[in-house]
A and B are shown apart, each in its own frame.
Chain A
Amino acid sequence: MATGSDQAVGMAMVALSALIFTYYTVWAVVLPFVDDDHIVHQYFLPRPYAVIIPTVAGVVALSAIGSFFGYVMLQDKMKKKTK
């Protein structure tokens, strides 16, 4: 079996993904069928945010990955120059 902290991290990721999936499913698929005066609506942001937030998060994630990649490539180039 994986070591303790690995197990904890792995299970935390599974739990997080389950949470995100459930919340997003309710937000995107269930809420349109719920009456507008039901209290559950106050736990969710207005509907357009269901598209904006994932898009922004995706852009941020891709930029982070891209800059990390670029940084590593630059480091490699600098090392090759000084050798």
Chain B
Amino acid sequence: MTKLLQWLLGVGLLLGTWACLVWDLVPAQLTPQWKEVVWVAPMYLLMSFACYSLATIGYRVATFNDCEDAAKELQQEIEEARRDLAKKGLKLS
């Protein structure tokens, strides 16, 4: 079974459970407060995932290892290559 099918199966199972609980298709006795929580559950999971993604990206941006020396060296090498190629007749934008 492919990964896509696995994910779709998992999501389908979760949504099915949610639908059964929210539209009273199963004889489950949920207090009105829990019913409220279940009703919002899919959106809540989506929002949590979005917040987690944002936090991960932000954290990785903040802790990224800049190598200033390597960057300067790279710029110099680019300039050298550009001059070299220009001598040989290649035009770079």
Chain A interface residues toward B at CB < 8 A: 1-3, 6-7, 9-14, 16-18, 20-21, 24-25, 28-29, 32-33, 47, 50-51, 54-55
Contacts and interface: CB of A to CB of B under 8 A. Distances in A.
Contacts of B36: 32, 47
A51 B40 contact: yes
Q: Chain B: interface residue count, which band? A: 20 to 34
Contact of A21 (B47, B60, B64, B65): B47
Q: Does more than half of chain B's interface fall in helix, strand or loop, or is it mixed? A: helix
Given A2-B66, A17-B51, 10 more contacts: A1-B66, A2-B64, A3-B66, A9-B62, A10-B62, A16-B58, A17-B58, A28-B47, A32-B33, A32-B34
Interface of B: 32-34, 36-37, 40, 43-44, 46-48, 51-52, 54-55, 57-66
Contacts of A13: 54-55, 57-59, 61
